[in-house]
Amino acid sequence: MTIGTIALIIFAAILAQVAGFALVGLHRRNKEYRELEERKGQPAAAAPEAPARPPTPAPAEDVPVWEGYREFVVQRRVMEDGAQSACSFYLVPADGQPLPPFKPGQFLTFKLQIPDPVSGEKQNVVRCYSLSDRPRPDYYRVTIKRVPAPVDRPDIPPGLSSGFFHDQVRKGMRLAVKAPSGHFHLMEQEPLPVVLVAGGIGLTPMLSIVNTMLHSGNPRELWLFYGVRNGAEHVMKQHFQELAKAHPNFHLHVCYSRPGEQDVEGVDYQRHGHVDINLLRLTLKRIRHQFYVCGPRAMMESLVPALEEWGVATKDIFYESFGPATLPRHERPKTEAAEQKVPAQAVTVTFSQSGKCILWDPDGESLLAFAEANGIEADFGCRAGSCGTCQTALESGEVEYSQEPDAEIKPGHCLLCIGTPKSDIKLEL
Same domain, 175 and 86: yes
C-alpha dihedral sign at 166, 77, 244, 101: negative
Same domain, 172 and 288: no
Question: pLDDT tier at 22 (50, 70, 90 boundaries)?
Answer: low
Give the 3-state secondary structure of residue 355. coil
- Do residues 74 and 165 lie in contact, with contact meaning Cβ atoms separated by under 8 Å? no
Is the pLDDT at 35 greater than 90? The verdict is no
Tens digits of residue pLDDT in 258-299: 999 999 999 999 999 999 999 999 999 999 999 999 998 889
> Residue 248 falls within a domain, yes or no?
yes
Same domain, 121 and 172: yes
Tens digits of residue pLDDT in 133-187: 999 999 999 999 998 877 776 766 788 899 999 999 999 999 999 999 888 999 9
Tens digits of residue pLDDT in 411-428: 999 999 999 999 999 999
Question: pLDDT tier at 49 (50, 70, 90 boundaries)?
Answer: very low
Give me the pLDDT at residue 383, please.
Answer: 80
Same domain, 200 and 309: yes
CATH code where residue 209 lies: 3.40.50.80
Question: pLDDT tier at 1 (50, 70, 90 boundaries)?
Answer: low
Is the pLDDT at 403 greater than 80? The verdict is yes
Give me the pLDDT at residue 14, please.
Answer: 57
- Pick 68 or 53 by higher pLDDT: 68
Tens digits of residue pLDDT in 351-367: 999 999 999 998 888 99
Question: pLDDT tier at 57 (50, 70, 90 boundaries)?
Answer: very low
Mean pLDDT on 127-137: 95
Question: pLDDT tier at 54 (50, 70, 90 boundaries)?
Answer: very low
Same domain, 140 and 71: yes
Phi-psi category of residue 83: left, alpha or beta, with phi > 0 → left and psi -120 to 50 → alpha:
alpha
Choose the final residue of a domain: 181, 207, 228. 181
Domains in the chain, number: 3
Which range of residues forms the domain containing residue 172?
60-181
> Residue 391 falls within a domain, yes or no?
yes
Percent residues over pLDDT 70 in the chain:
80
> Residue 72 falls within a domain, yes or no?
yes
Same domain, 198 and 315: yes
Same domain, 93 and 130: yes
Give me the pLDDT at residue 396, please.
Answer: 95
> Residue 91 falls within a domain, yes or no?
yes
CATH code where residue 173 lies: 2.40.30.10
Percent residues over pLDDT 90 in the chain:
62
Would you call 54 exposed, middle or buried from its count of C-beta atoms within 10 A (0-12, 13-18, 19+)? exposed
CATH code where residue 401 lies: 3.10.20.30
Average the pLDDT over each of 89-93, 102-106, 382-386, 413-417 and give the range with the smallest value: 382-386
The Cα-based distances of 278 to 282, 303, 306 in angstroms read: 6, 10, 9
Mean pLDDT on 70-79: 98
> Residue 30 falls within a domain, yes or no?
no
Is the pLDDT at 36 greater than 60? The verdict is no
Nearest residue to 289 via CA among 266, 271, 310: 310
Average the pLDDT over each of 23-32, 273-282, 340-349 and give the range with the smallest value: 23-32
Look at strands 174-181 and 399-401 and give their pairing. Answer: unpaired
Same domain, 175 and 209: no
Cα(66)–Cα(73) distance, rounded to whole angstroms?
Answer: 16
Same domain, 227 and 311: yes
Alpha helices in 149-287 (DSSP H): 160-168, 203-216, 237-246, 277-283
Is the pLDDT at 324 greater than 60? The verdict is no
Cα(298)–Cα(292) distance, rounded to whole angstroms?
Answer: 16
Query: Which residues make beta-bridge pairs with 272?
Result: 256
- Pick 269 or 17 by higher pLDDT: 269
Is the pLDDT at 207 greater than 90? The verdict is yes
> Residue 5 falls within a domain, yes or no?
no
> Residue 1 falls within a domain, yes or no?
no
Is the pLDDT at 114 greater than 80? The verdict is yes
Q: What is the DSSP string of 86-110?
A: EEEEEEEETT-PPPPP--TT-EEEE
Cα(129)–Cα(108) distance, rounded to whole angstroms?
Answer: 6
pTM of the model as a whole: 0.76
Choose the final residue of a domain: 123, 158, 181. 181
- Do residues 338 and 345 lie in contact, with contact meaning Cβ atoms separated by under 8 Å? no
Same domain, 202 and 317: yes
> Residue 216 falls within a domain, yes or no?
yes
Average the pLDDT over each of 34-43, 306-315, 399-408 and give the range with the smallest value: 34-43
Same domain, 224 and 312: yes
Same domain, 403 and 362: yes
Mean pLDDT on 45-51: 38
Task: List Cβ neighbours of 224 (8 Å cut-off, separation of 6 or more).
Answer: 196, 198, 206, 210, 240, 250, 251, 252, 253
Q: What does the mean pLDDT of the chain come to? A: 84
